């Protein structure tokens, strides 16, 4: 998965089918068209390719997990084991570091990332606890202050005025459904738009 790091609205995204019967129906990946967003235009960078699942020739196996395993999966038990593993392997060996973080944080960087589960800033960029102040939303957008307060703007204000971060990273990525929704938006009436559509429209302001 390609990443695009930058301070302006310039990122690589994938073309995605987002509208059906005149409104946002679902985000369904249909290919790997990639666009570079400038201030007022989209430039096609790479030719369209077939769907990855089709390329693998295993759509059913890829999309349908084993029902028996899914039924028997103990999600809460798995989360508990992960927490205990973190505590045993990371927290206790570095307990002094974590105790210092209890008192205060002093990150040098803020990351504004996409909420997409496939692109975790700390995992991709290797941040350790206390190193990066992070906020994530659909399509990693920063809305105009004139539109009113948002969690992203409040986090940005806190990072700059209180934490005094030295760097701000806007972390985009390929195959972003939110940006694809923005690119395919047809200016539907607000009462017929989904929350996702209305949110990503901030990217056109």
Is 176 known to be catalytic?
A: yes
Is 33 known to be catalytic?
A: no
Choose the catalytic residue: 33, 34, 116, 185: 116
Choose the catalytic residue: 176, 185, 188, 192: 176
Strand partners, 170: 6, 112
Neighbours of 125 (CB within 10 A): 17
Choose the catalytic residue: 173, 185, 188, 198: 173
- For residue 106, the number of C-alpha atoms closer than 13 Å in the C-beta half-sphere is 4
Choose the catalytic residue: 88, 118, 192, 198: 118
Neighbours of 9 (CB within 10 A): 18
Is 23 known to be catalytic?
A: no
Choose the catalytic residue: 11, 34, 114, 136: 114
Give, for 42, the enclosing helix (H) or strand (E): strand 42-46
Long-range Cβ pairs for the range 91-99 (8 Å, 24+): 97/129, 97/130, 98/129
Is 120 known to be catalytic?
A: no
Is 118 known to be catalytic?
A: yes
CA angle 71, 77, 78 (to 5 degrees): 85
Query: Catalytic amino acids?
Result: 114, 116, 118, 173, 176
């Amino acid at each position: 998965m390609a990443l695009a790091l930058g301070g302006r609205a310039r990122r690589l995204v994938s073309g995605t089918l987002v509208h059906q019967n005149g409104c946002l129906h679902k985000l369904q990946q249909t290919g790997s068209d990639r666009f570079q967003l400038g201030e007022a235009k989209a430039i096609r960078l790479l030719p369209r390719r077939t769907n990855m699942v089709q390329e693998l020739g295993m759509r059913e196996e890829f999309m349908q997990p084993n029902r028996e395993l899914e039924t028997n999966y103990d999600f809460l038990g798995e989360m508990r084991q992960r927490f205990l593993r973190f505590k045993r392997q990371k927290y206790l060996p570095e307990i002094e570091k974590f105790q210092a973080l209890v008192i205060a944080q002093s990150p040098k960087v803020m990351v504004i990332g996409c909420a997409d589960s496939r692109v975790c800033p700390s995992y991709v960029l290797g941040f350790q606890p206390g190193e990066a102040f992070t906020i994530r939303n659909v399509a990693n957008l920063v809305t105009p202050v004139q539109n009113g307060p948002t969690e992203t703007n409040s986090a940005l204000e806190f990072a700059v005025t209180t934490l005094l971060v030295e760097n701000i990273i806007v972390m985009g990525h390929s195959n972003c459904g939110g940006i694809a929704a923005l690119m395919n938006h047809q200016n539907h009436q607000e009462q017929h738009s989904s929350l996702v559509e209305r949110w990503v429209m901030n990217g056109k302001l």
